[in-house]
Amino acid sequence: MRGKLIVIAMVLAGVAGATVLLTSMNLDAESISRPAEKAVMYEVQAVDGMTRIDRKGRFSGAKKARLYAARNETEPFQVVVSSYGKPLKIVDVSVSELVGPNQTRITAATLYRAHYVPVTKPSPLSQYSPREYADALIPFRNPVTKKPLSGVVYDAVPFTVAKGENQPIWIDLHIPKKVPAGDYHGQVTVTAEGGLRASLPVTLTVWNFTLPDVPALGSDFGLNGFQVANIYGLDQERDARTVNPLIRSYYDLLFDHLLSPSDLFDTRPNADPVTGKPDFNAFYPGLGTAAQGLKYYLNRKHAASYSYIFWERSPFNDPLGRDRSRMKNFLVGYVSYLNKHGWSDRAQMPYGFLDEPSSKEAYEKIRNWGRLFNEVEKRVGTPAPLMITEQPEPEDTAWGSLDGYVDIWVPEFNAVWLDEYHNRGAIKKQLVAGNRVWSYAALAYVPSEWRRSHPFSSKLKDSHPPKWLTDYAPINFRIPTWLNALSGITGLLYWDTIWWADGVDVWKDAGTYRHEDKNDPDSWGLILNGEGFLIYPGFRNQIGFDGPVPSIRLKWFRESVEDYAYIQLLRDAGEWGFAKKQINTFARGVGDWKDDIRALYRARRAMGERLSALHGKK
């Protein structure tokens, strides 16, 4: 039987029906009369945002994308093109409007091609062998001009899928705040050279509630402006008008993923050299004043957290000694300014020069700064919380206590696990006292007690303190906020997002962190893939513009922050018992959870449906 729409992409025997076949609009029935073994075979499948697709090999996909999301949420999915025959050149991938109730249309789709980066030496305790990981996400369009990008080293499109390989396309779908709840329908179209096309249906259910603009989860993710300048061979002072907007583009990428960067340099006020009072008219070429910067980040970008900008010897050389009065005036004016604009409840004192104290002297230094901040609080009548990367109980009691000086404790997940394992209750004690607790992950080490309690676990799979490395299971990036919610922990911190060792080309090597401490010979040569690294540096000759490129791991963090928003909305509605029941289907604590993304999605859907019901019928 002749027809205009003829399948020319045959599916290999044994492959499930969850497949979309490439088709041609201009061929007739004789086109498929050739022997099957000579047929060109391709597949286009949909998978969720948490499925990691290997470059080679089969995987289980679906013949349509089925999504659920709240208003003001970004929900991702992947479309994967696979070739089982000769290479296939893809010339375009597009997403149609999604049409829903009353012909309402959702059009905010952003597309990326996933770029594979090799791991040649696995991170310690990784459960995976050396392989390539889809991680960098190359945008189809310039994020500023919105114009298509092409003709560079790492083109998003066109691209060629070699025989036996897969190529994921990452799609972010943002749901506007004012669309009605209900089902929306559209499609993804993949166009190949020669007129071949595949269409994959997309159905999105928008629930009847809206995520807040300001994330419920506090965060502080390291991003150093000087490092950005160095990446592009610029000087932050000499080339300020060029480099400052570039640094802001890196900040914006974190904000767009619901994470707050540390050290927003262009919000720092000048200090009067005589009185110490802050001046928010401090000007930053290419950006504007400190006052304008604060308004931009806290009002327009909806920063969940803000770290006051000063250092141990700046703006004054001896802030705890002869310059104490001026430093106090500076802080009083700084805190008062934020309070006046309604921002002080999102702000905390910087932890950088007090990071991870490990001696009696370091503890005393924190107490000295804490005394100053307490004096500021008394004078202003507004909290000036001190945040410290430390567990609530010191390793050595001889160091003394930090109670009364620290307001936000940030233990590493290893310390959270130990507090839970030994039933110490130190975190709960701080929460009862009215303090806050955040958490963070670093490197790949686990407590010796964890190893002894898991004698048959030579690799980290589940029920361990989360680790944020490229060659660890994706759930490590998604589960932290679920675990935090169980413990009353309200924030996440990470030491850096653009760090890599000298000589590493991050586009070709995932081994960003190399342990080369001569004083630690047992660890010499260890590689921690992706440690301290979430954002790829984009260059005009590589991807078509100078600026940041997100990783898939950064997207997973955004999803985790949105999950936390669901949990917090339920808590605010008096539904914590329901939320906890859903979390407990796969996680009971830092030392008791399963790598079960399907269970996580089921829990998220149950919470979304409950919230939607609480806000009225669709």
**What tokens were used for 159?**
């691209």
Locate 474 and state its tokens: 């994706």
Of 223-237, 251-265, 445-459, where does mean pLDDT reach its minimum?
Answer: 445-459
Region 355-370 average pLDDT: 96
- What residue numbers bound the domain in which 102 lies? 6-210
Q: Could you tell me if 82 and 201 lie in one domain? A: yes
Percent of the chain having pLDDT more than 70? 92
pLDDT tens for each residue of 31-53: 222 233 445 488 999 999 999 99
Joined tokens for residue 512: 């960003």
Domain boundary among 463, 481, 502: 502
- Predicted local distance difference test score (pLDDT) of residue 195: 84
Residue 523 binned pLDDT confidence (cut-offs 50, 70, 90)? low
pLDDT over threshold 70, residue 27: no
pLDDT computed for residue 519 by the predictor: 61
Query: Is the same domain home to 223 and 114?
Result: no
Residues 206 and 225 in one domain: no
Check whether 204 has a pLDDT greater than 70: yes
Q: Note whether 155 and 282 are same-domain residues.
A: no
The CATH number for 84's domain is 2.60.40.10
Instruction: Identify the pLDDT of residue 525.
Output: 75
Angle between helices 552-572 and 480-487 (to 10 degrees): 30
What's the CA gap between 144 and 167, in Å, rounded? 25
Strands 109-119 and 166-174: antiparallel
Residue 438 within a domain:
yes
Which two structure tokens, joined as six digits, stand for 412? 């590493």
> What single letter denotes the amino acid at residue 165?
E
- With a CB cutoff of 8 Å and minimum separation 6, the contacts of 300 are none
The confidence score (pLDDT) of residue 276 equals 98
pLDDT at 108: 86
pLDDT digits (tens, 9 = 90+) for 526-577: 899 999 999 999 999 999 999 999 999 999 999 999 999 999 999 999 999 9
What pLDDT does 240 receive?
97
Residue 442, pLDDT score: 93
- Tell me whether residue 111 is in a domain: yes
Does 367 have pLDDT greater than 60?
Answer: yes
CA distances from 307 to 4, 90, 234, 345, 412 (A): 62, 45, 25, 11, 19
For residue 364, the domain's CATH number is: 3.20.20
pLDDT of res. 515: 77
Q: What is the pLDDT of residue 521?
A: 53
Mean pLDDT of 431-457: 93
Inform me whether the pLDDT recorded for 1 exceeds 50. Answer: no
- Within 10 angstroms of residue 378's Cβ, the number of other Cβ atoms is 9
Share of the chain above pLDDT 90, in %: 86
Given the structure tokens 């036996």, which residue do they identify?
A: 164
Provide the 3-class DSSP secondary structure of residue 55. coil
pLDDT at residue 457, rounded to an integer:
80
pLDDT at 524: 60
The answer on 243 and 141 residing in a single domain is no
Is it the case that residue 231 has pLDDT exceeding 70? yes
Same domain, 196 and 340: no
Question: Which of residues 477, 502, 527 is at a domain's end?
Answer: 502
The residue out of 186, 210, 234 marking a domain boundary is: 210
- 247 shares a domain with 197: no
145-185 confidence digits (pLDDT tens): 999 988 899 999 999 999 999 999 999 999 999 999 999 99
- Higher local confidence (pLDDT), 331 or 38: 331
Burial of 569 (0-12, 13-18, 19+ CB in 10 A): buried
Residue-level pLDDT at 517: 64
Q: Is residue 336 a part of any domain in this protein?
A: yes
> E strands, 392-468, where?
408-409, 436-437, 439-440
**H or E element, residue 417:** helix 413-421
547 sits in which H/E element: strand 547-550
Residue 616: predicted pLDDT? 75
What lies within 8 Å, CB to CB, of 178 at 6+ separation is 71
Question: What is the per-residue pLDDT for 467?
Answer: 97
Distance (Å, rounded) from C-alpha 418 to C-alpha 424?
8
Does residue 5 contact residue 21 with C-beta atoms inside 8 Å? Answer: no
How many folded domains does the chain comprise? 2
Q: Are residues 244 and 160 part of one domain?
A: no
- 249 and 328 in a single domain? The answer is yes
> Does a cis peptide bond (omega within 30 degrees of 0) precede residue 158?
yes
Mean pLDDT of the chain: 91
Give the DSSP letter string of 238-292. TTHHHHHHHHHHHHHHHHHTT-PBS--GGGPPEE-TTT--EETT-EETTTEEHHH
pLDDT tens by residue, 181-198: 999 999 999 999 988 899
176 and 301 fall within a common domain: no
Considering the domain boundaries, does residue 528 fall inside one? no
Q: Does one domain contain both 101 and 73?
A: yes
- What pLDDT band is residue 115 in, cutting at 50, 70 and 90? very high
Specify the pLDDT at position 151.
83
Instruction: Name the band, by pLDDT with cuts 50, 70 and 90, for residue 349.
Output: very high
Helix (H, G, I), strand (E, B) or coil at 567: helix
Pair (154, 228) in one structural domain: no
Structure tokens, 529:
């893939």
pLDDT digits (tens, 9 = 90+) for 287-327: 999 999 999 999 999 999 999 999 999 999 999 999 999 99
pLDDT at 8: 30
3-class state of residue 162 by DSSP: coil
The rounded distance, in Å, linking the Cα atoms of 474 and 468 is 9
pLDDT digits (tens, 9 = 90+) for 276-291: 999 999 999 999 999 9
